[in-house]
Structure 1
Amino acid sequence: MRNVTYRQQDGRFCLIDFEFASLLKEESFGKTKPTSPTSSQPQRHFEWSGCTDPGPFRTNNEDSFLGLSIDPAGVRHLGRTGSANTAGNDLLFAVSDGMGGAKAGEFASQIAIDKITRRFPPLIGSRGEGRPIGYLPAFAALFAEINKALQHLGDSYEECHGMGATLSLCWFSGENMHFAHVGDSRIYHLPSAVKGGVIRQLTEDDTHVAWLLRTGQISSLEARMHPARNHLQKALGAGNQFVTPQVGEIVCQPGDRFLICTDGVTDGLSDQAIVETLEQGPKDLSPAEHLVREAIRSSGKDNATAVIVAIS
């Protein structure tokens, strides 16, 4: 594959063709412009925040995250924090955790995020102009393309062998949130209608330990302490010829919150600790930054990334 080269002197990958030449960095995210509401479309107010931290023991960050606004006028990148009233536009948020030697993991998560930006908006079109296909085939096509790209790199370069990435994605369109997921990053729903700090995991971890927990063979405490809890059975790339994402949708209500995070957050914080952290956040930090800081303080063994979306 001639659009990627590996630079041995510093162990980094260089991108040399147009398709990958502008891999997105978080620092380049711009602010979104709200779309003018129309009477035929439901208008919701969204607030979001995103944060990633390599942790005290890692020299590089293999996590990436993304926020997009999609409407008939085009695609805009969202800032780390922001808010918008939505009517004709959709919002998309995603996190990816890369894996692989020689810094290939960092590159893998960036490829996954960049592919979303380039390929998903053309797949789904816009609400104002009609949808060419439904969300299920759109997710299937997107995840297949990312998997193929990572597989090709892994097969073509020794330094990329085993390169892979998790991907958890939330697409907010109208009153619905559609999600797709592969790996052990997670999507959580904190419902507005349920009081008392309830949190619901929408995705299933693609690990053997998670399967043991789901089938009742181990307890949640045993799962959290299991030495193989981070060993993935399924990821994008990583030698997997075919990957089928977990997909789903829910109807959003005002007051709902959603959390998308990598395992660096959930390794440090239990579900209940996540709820307590979000409820007790200081005013001088965004919700995502506060959550990531607490996860790093509690564990810090891995990169930690979180995106939090609140609807009103």
Structure 2
Amino acid sequence: MTVDGVRLEVGVATDRAGRATNEDTALALRGVYVVADGMGGHEAGEVASGMAIETVRALVGTTPDLETVRATLRAAHARLRDLPSSTGRRPGTTMTGVILTEHEDLPCWIVLNVGDSRTYRMAGGVLEQVTRDHSEVAELVASGVVAAEEASRYPRRHVVTRVLGGGASEVDPDLWMFPVSPGDRMLVCSDGLTDELTDARIEAALRATPDPQDAADRLVGEALAAGGADNITAVVVDATLARS
């Protein structure tokens, strides 16, 4: 795919792993690359992630600004808030991802995040987490209460503090915009991947696997081999200069 002078190549892989169903939903289409990880019981989780992705689908093929993306995520939140709850726990979902857009005639990424799924950028072979986890343990690490090296063993590490849907009446998504650099490799993934693989291992897999579909498949396969018990989804997006 080519958009605004940037050629994109994409790979998508997902696996329900140790779960009965897959509550992750991914969208990788015409400039929009997002992953949602549903919660609220398996049926509600699937519905929540699917509905959120369907709402964001309105951005496909457009070049939105930050406020348009923010409004779209808030619309998804409102739709999920209207879903019925059969368990007393409101359905909700995380969502993270990257959207290709244009700003002042430059191709740019918009990275979005609500929850503890993650978006990474690899440039020059170095992987960096762009998003910040909206989770109890991330907040405790940031405040110095829990040491970073203890975070993976913290008993409430899966408690998220911000979601689409759920109990909060409003949502404040995190958004970033920055220029696309030729050679950017973006990774969008659910926490089923990052629960099993360290950033160093993810970086090594991405560096060793040039094709984005092979890279996505490899990441999911390595997470499964490491004992993955949660749904695992990886979307790998490569950007190169388009040839005229």
TM superposition score normalised by structure 2: 0.89
Which position in structure 1 is the counterpart of 2:215?
287
Which position in structure 2 is the counterpart of 1:176?
108
What's the Cα RMSD here? 2.1
Instruction: Report if aligned partners of 1:104, 1:160 keep a CA contact under 8 Å in 2.
Output: no
Are positions 1:208 and 2:140 aligned together? no
Query: Structure 1 residue 281: deviation in Å?
Result: 3.4
Instruction: Report if aligned partners of 1:48, 1:309 keep a CA contact under 8 Å in 2.
Output: yes
Separation (CA, whole Å) in 1 of partners of 2:194 and 2:85: 32
Which position in structure 2 is the counterpart of 1:93?
33
Following TM superposition, the consecutive aligned residue runs of length 4 or more in structure 1 with deviations greater than 3 angstroms are 281-285
Separation (CA, whole Å) in 1 of partners of 2:161 and 2:187: 23
Which position in structure 1 is the counterpart of 2:45?
105
Which position in structure 2 is the counterpart of 1:18?
none
CA displacement, residues 242-296 of structure 1 (integer Å, 9 cap, x when unaligned): 0010001111111111100000000000110101122233979611011011112
Which position in structure 1 is the counterpart of 2:76?
146
Separation (CA, whole Å) in 2 of partners of 1:186 and 1:283: 21
For residues 232-251 of structure 1, the aligned pairs below 5 Å read 232-251=160-179
Q: CA distance change for structure 1 residues 63 and 158 in 2, over 3 Å: closer, same or farther? A: same
Query: Structure 1 residue 160: deviation in Å?
Result: 7.5
Q: Among 147, 155, 158, which residue is 1:230 paired with? A: 158
Q: CA distance change for structure 1 residues 236 and 149 in 2, over 3 Å: closer, same or farther? A: same
Separation (CA, whole Å) in 2 of partners of 1:126 and 1:172: 9
Structure 2, gaps ≥5 residues long: none
Instruction: Report if aligned partners of 1:278, 1:287 keep a CA contact under 8 Å in 2.
Output: yes
CA displacement, residues 34-92 of structure 1 (integer Å, 9 cap, x when unaligned): 57xxxxxx51221110111000x2110000100121xxxxxxxxxxxxxxxxxxxxx11
Which position in structure 1 is the counterpart of 2:14?
52
Which position in structure 2 is the counterpart of 1:62?
23
For residues 108-147 of structure 1, the aligned pairs below 5 Å read 108-117=48-57, 119-121=58-60, 126=62, 135-147=65-77
Q: CA distance change for structure 1 residues 224 and 240 in 2, over 3 Å: closer, same or farther? A: same
Are positions 1:191 and 2:123 aligned together? yes
Separation (CA, whole Å) in 2 of partners of 1:258 and 1:284: 10
Amino acid at match of 2:98: C
Separation (CA, whole Å) in 2 of partners of 1:231 and 1:159: 18
Instruction: Report if aligned partners of 1:267, 1:299 keep a CA contact under 8 Å in 2.
Output: no
**Which stretch of the first structure deviates more once superposed, 100-109 or 243-252?**
100-109
Separation (CA, whole Å) in 2 of partners of 1:157 and 1:173: 36
TM superposition score normalised by structure 1: 0.71
Q: Which protein shows a greater Rg?
A: 1
> Size of the alignment, in residue pairs?
236
Query: Structure 1 residue 144: deviation in Å?
Result: 1.2
Amino acid at match of 1:268: E
Query: Structure 1 residue 236: deviation in Å?
Result: 0.7
Separation (CA, whole Å) in 1 of partners of 2:212 and 2:123: 25
Separation (CA, whole Å) in 2 of partners of 1:237 and 1:275: 32
Amino acid at match of 2:95: L
Q: CA distance change for structure 1 residues 169 and 285 in 2, over 3 Å: closer, same or farther? A: closer
Query: Structure 1 residue 208: deviation in Å?
Result: 1.4
Q: CA distance change for structure 1 residues 285 and 111 in 2, over 3 Å: closer, same or farther? A: closer
CA displacement, residues 170-226 of structure 1 (integer Å, 9 cap, x when unaligned): 11124210111100000101113xxxx421111111111101222333332201221
Over the matched positions of the two proteins, sequence identity in percent amounts to 34
